[in-house]
Amino acid sequence: MKVDSLWPQLLNGLFPPRCCLCQWASGNDLPLCRDCRSELAANTLACQRCALPLPRPGICGRCQREPPAFDRVIAPWLYSDCFAHLIHLWKFSGRDDLTPLLAQLWLDGAREPGDIDLVVPVPLHWRRLWQRGYNQSQLLADRLVCKLPATRVHPRLLVRRRATAPQSGMDARARAHNLRGAFTVRLPCDNLRIAVVDDVLTTGATAREAARTLKSAGARHVELWCLARTPAPGH
């Protein structure tokens, strides 16, 4: 066995990875133990278009009334309390080291992605990128493409051309208004099949605006890859 391959085993033996939720030893190479992972709720019964949790498979009422610009959403987990804590650590506590864990959770729970030409992260405005230090969607996109070698990332195809107000606390209509015209595309997307990567889908305003912008530039198919989907109120 090569010496280089022994180092991770030695380090794990001396400093075993700890679960980022309960702080006990995780028992594996990733910072999430089996018990805490069992607390994550899979998004198994969902709208076939926007991944909204439903009592049975089908198309939700909103997607029937107002078909979104995106073609489908892959969101394998529900945005539960445990998943919300993971995302908060990743985005706001500087825990970019959680990217491999979150990418593996997506890969474990996602349906087969299908044929995609480009993977595009949802961009941050330069001010927010400077404040946070990294774009979590780009970290996730880069990691997913490492595991899906048939695809490639284009990190600057979609650009956020103006700063938008933080969307927490806004309803769906306010979010849509907040994001209208927020994105632009640097290059033509003629006939491309594009996956847009984001962390969580709540009202779908970001996904709708990103897909609308990409399709205006010629994209043939746009889908959203995100970690988790927020259930409807009362779900």
* Digit-coded pLDDT (tens) for 175-209: 555 666 678 999 999 999 999 999 999 988 899 99
CATH of 40-229, one of 1.20.120, 3.40.50, 1.10.287, 3.20.20: 3.40.50
**Domain locations in the chain as residue ranges:** 1-39, 40-229
Per-residue pLDDT tens digits for 123-160: 988 788 888 889 999 999 999 999 887 789 999 999 98
Give CA angle at 87 (86, 89), nearest 5°.
65
Tokens at 156, concatenated: 């600057």
pTM (2 d.p.): 0.86
